[in-house]
Structure 1
Amino acid sequence: MDKKEFRSLMLKNRDSLKDQYMKKANEGIFNEFIKSDLYKNSKNIFIFVSYKKEVDTHKIIKYALKENKNMYVPIVNRQTKLLEVSKLSSFDVLKESYMGILEPDKEDYNLVDPNIIDLVVTPGLAFDRSGYRIGYGGGFYDKFFASLNSSPVKMGIGFNKQLVEAVVHDTEDQTLDYFLSENGLCKLGGN
């Protein structure tokens, strides 16, 4: 199976998850995240804003902002096809943008040097214990990780059913350090 077929299968599997399972799992993921030392010890957190059937990060973002964490969200630069990092002042500034993803309006952009990030919370369709993930095919996070001069902790976040035996990957794919699901946090190998 090639990467495109694998991605299609993983998307189908994720989108077939039942609402009841997702509701319970999202609550478990939220609780596991906020009690983790990775969260507690991070001051600058870069996190995707979930949409569709992704793990709900909205609750995490709102909670962290109340705890005075510096929260940063991705902005897709349509010209360069790269992720930029914008400091989030409030969840309320997020509006539907590229591909229906919530992003700050241009007047609310507060772009920062990505090398200040302590923790990157990374989306994906599937994750494996070697640290590989498969996303939606844009390569945004792999390019972002490769561009950094710093070494933030890279955490994949997903439902336990998204943790698979092995992810189809290429040589340019970057690995993650941890995977967090409703079953807790696990350290990934290959790093």
Structure 2
Amino acid sequence: MSNDPSDKDYASPACMASEIAPDYFGPVAADPVQSRDAERWRKAERSRLIETREALSASARKAADDAIASHLDTVLAERFGGAEGMVITGYWPIRSEIDLRGWMQRQAKRGVRIALPVVTARNAPLIFRPWTPEAKMRKGLWKIPEPDTAETCLPQIMLAPLVGWDSSRFRMGYGGGFYDRTLSSLRPRPYAIGIGLQSGQLRTIYPQPHDEALDLIVTEAGPA
């Protein structure tokens, strides 16, 4: 625990959150103490999961990338007729996230319309700009590459990178809330697929009122 005086406001330390009944952190709850407890627990779990992910060997990462790409091909074929002509939002990988750039290139070449997310402000939903393997790129808000164009598009399928996830398909990301805000604001809502490692599965992420459940999780072990 840090020496920050604000720590005194918490009902329990982060290491004890997993011992509390999951319904204590019900998704409809709005109790500020519960919310602070959940955020502290998530911060600790997020650090642990990222550290575990970054410790993977290059060959293990490549195997996970390839397995997830294959599973996504199956999902698109079985649920979306291949998704040709549809807009799918990918992402540019950071911090050892699953790398689907090769998969995005293959999809673009066969007629799927690929887009990438763009952060316009810290508390705003994401917008999406079209991408092709030949697209000119520029550095975005956090120096993450984004398409160098003013054109935007609306996704029908959204791939959301994740750090952790649970069986109710709630996603734990980096804590910025961008995908939650985006999913709650887009109409029609895109089919949202979380992309991450099987080792990121948690009993619960202690969902809060702002959290948006995804429609599917795809890991190297397959869809869930």
TM-score, normalised on structure 2?
A: 0.74
Query: 2:125–2:185: 8 Å Cα contact kept in structure 1?
Result: no
Q: Give 1:80 shift.
A: 5.4
Whose strand fraction is larger, Structure 1's or Structure 2's? 1
Bigger radius of gyration among the two: 2
More moved, 61-70 vs 11-20: 11-20
Offset from partner CA, 1:120-151 (integer Å, 9 cap, x none): 11111111111111111111000000101213
Which amino acid in structure 1 is aligned with residue 121 of structure 2? R
Alignment of 1:25-174 (within 5 A): 25-36=64-75, 37-38=78-79, 40-41=82-83, 43-78=86-121, 81-105=124-148, 108-112=149-153, 114=154, 117-174=155-212
Query: 2:83–2:112: 8 Å Cα contact kept in structure 1?
Result: no
Unmatched runs of 5 consecutive residues or more in structure 2: 1-13, 15-40
Unmatched runs of 5 consecutive residues or more in structure 1: 187-191
In structure 1, the partner of 2:43 is 4
For residues 180 and 134 of structure 2, the distance between their equivalents in structure 1, rounded to whole angstroms, comes to 26
Query: 1:62–1:91: 8 Å Cα contact kept in structure 2?
Result: no
Residues 10, 91 of structure 1: alpha-carbon distance in 2 compared, 3 angstrom cutoff: farther
For residues 169 and 79 of structure 1, the distance between their equivalents in structure 2, rounded to whole angstroms, comes to 21
RMSD of Structure 2 on Structure 1 (CA): 1.9
TM-score, normalised on structure 1?
A: 0.85
Q: Give 1:46 shift.
A: 1.4
